[in-house]
């Protein structure tokens, strides 16, 4: 019997597709190639009713590339490349409540995963096994759509700029201050307590060649070439611009849904509107490369203090 091609249902005008007819635990070469092509085309893919063991989840990630180990989060015993996503009765999105002992919800603010790394992840694959009765959606926004909607004058201006991305604020909130207090034990390369890097504000996708905005509220701190006030005002404009609903897709989860996203051209936010309920799953994250600038002039000053 001839194999059926997977079905593709676009979820919004610019980003996201739901794919059916693929079993992620058993993809042959042709199916994986199709999945990979769809990933590049739609930026975010949603696949329902998947049954993946932890090893199969990891094996799927490895077909995209080497796996990333999160600089702060600890995986389950023997699985350092697994990033646990778990929110329950003791979780909160409110910094005050977190400081008072509640556990911070992962990804509750717009971000591209670990963009503070000198080589930020290519993509992520999140598998949720337990979901709340309502809520707990994830919003994704397309950096391509955001870039393409800007005027040519603004595009040209942004293409010359670079921005500092830092893990400090987010990681202090999630993991406390232990790294800042003990750099010798936890220090990253060059003795920094938290990862930090400089990336182009507009990056060129290494596989599609398309240009994408690459700043996010979670990690971007300032634009290198501008004064502080200019930098804050421009970043706030860009964040709001990227949050335009027309550039977004909203993924509604069910148990055993897998969502894959391309961190090079999207950012996301996990909506925390299910306090008191459980939302649980695991993510694997695929290593990426240094973001490419789109101009010849933008300075390739990747790591602030030299890697």
Q: How far apart are CA 24 and CA 57, in angstroms?
A: 8
Phi, psi for residue 59 in degrees, rounded to 5: -65, -40
Nearest to ligand SIN of 144, 219 (CB atom)? 219
Residue 110 in contact with residue 268, Cβ under 8 Å? yes
Quote the least distance from Cβ 124 to ligand SIN, whole Å: 6
Among 14, 283, 287, 290, binds ligand SIN (CB under 6 A): 283
Q: Cα(297)–Cα(54) distance, rounded to whole angstroms?
A: 44
Taking the complex as a whole, how short is the minimal distance between the CB of residue 243 and ligand SIN, in angstroms? 16
Tell which positions 243-282 bind ligand SIN, by CB under 6 A: 268, 270
Q: Does 138 bind ligand SIN (CB under 6 A)?
A: yes
Catalytically annotated residues = 111, 113, 268, 283
Quick one: which segment of 24-32, 68-76, 106-114, 178-186 binds ligand SIN (CB under 6 A)? 106-114
> Which tokens hold the place of 52?
């993946």
Which residue, among 287, 258, 275, has the nearest Cα to 129 in the 3D structure?
258
* Binding range to ligand SIN, per CB under 6 A, among 105-113, 145-153, 221-229, 287-295: 105-113
Q: What's the per-residue H, E or C state across 122-181?
A: CEEEEEEEECCCCCCCEEEEEHHHHHHCCCHHHHHHHHCCEEEEECHHHHHHHHCCHHHH
- Binder among 46, 60, 67, 107 for ligand SIN (CB under 6 A): 107
The residue among 43 and 138 lying less far from ligand SIN, judged by its C-beta, is 138
Choice between 107 and 143, CB closer to ligand SIN: 107
**Site residues (CB under 6 A) for ligand SIN, limited to 49-88:** 85
Nearest to 204 by CA among 289, 284, 136: 289
Q: Does 218 bind ligand SIN (CB under 6 A)?
A: no
* Size of residue set near ligand SIN by CB under 6 A: 10
CB 110 within 8 A of CB 244: no
Choose, by CB under 6 A, the member of 106, 141, 216, 220 that binds ligand SIN: 106
| In the complex, minimum distance from the CB of residue 137 to ligand SIN, in angstroms, rounded to a whole number | 8
Which is closer to ligand SIN, CB of 75 or CB of 155? 75
Q: How far is residue 254 from each of residues 27, 49, 296, measured CA to CA in Å? A: 22, 8, 45
Secondary structure (3-state) at 6: coil
Bridge pairing between strands 123-130 and 257-262 = antiparallel
- Binding positions for ligand SIN, rule: CB under 6 A: 85, 106-107, 113, 124, 126, 138, 268, 270, 283
């Amino acid at each position: 019997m001839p194999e059926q091609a997977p079905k593709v249902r676009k979820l919004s005008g610019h980003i996201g597709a739901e794919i059916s007819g693929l079993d992620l635990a058993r993809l042959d070469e042709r199916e994986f190639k199709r999945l990979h092509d769809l990933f590049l085309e739609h930026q975010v893919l949603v696949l329902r009713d998947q049954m993946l063991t932890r090893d199969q989840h990891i094996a799927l990630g490895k077909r995209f590339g080497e796996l990333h180990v999160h600089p702060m989060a600890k995986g389950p015993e023997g699985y350092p490349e697994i990033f646990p996503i778990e929110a329950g009765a003791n979780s909160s999105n409110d910094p005050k409540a977190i400081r008072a002992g509640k556990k911070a919800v992962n990804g509750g603010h717009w971000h591209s995963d670990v963009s503070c790394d000198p080589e930020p992840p290519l993509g992520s694959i999140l598998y949720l096994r337990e979901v709340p009765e309502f809520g707990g959606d994830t919003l994704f926004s397309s950096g391509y759509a955001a870039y393409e909607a800007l005027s040519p004058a603004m595009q040209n201006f942004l293409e010359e700029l670079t921005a500092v991305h830092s893990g400090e604020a987010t990681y202090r909130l999630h993991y406390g201050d232990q790294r800042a207090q003990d750099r010798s034990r936890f220090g990253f390369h060059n003795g920094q307590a938290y990862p930090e890097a400089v990336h182009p504000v507009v990056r060129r996708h290494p596989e599609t060649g398309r240009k994408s905005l690459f700043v996010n509220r979670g990690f971007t701190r300032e634009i290198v070439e501008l004064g502080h006030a200019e930098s804050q005002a421009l970043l706030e404009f860009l964040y709001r611009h990227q949050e335009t609903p027309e550039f977004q897709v909203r993924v509604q989860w069910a148990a055993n849904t897998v969502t894959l996203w391309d961190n090079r051209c999207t950012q996301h936010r996990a909506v925390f509107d299910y306090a008191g309920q459980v939302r649980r799953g695991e993510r694997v994250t695929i290593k990426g490369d240094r973001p490419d600038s789109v101009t010849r002039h933008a300075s390739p000053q990747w790591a602030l203090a030299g890697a």
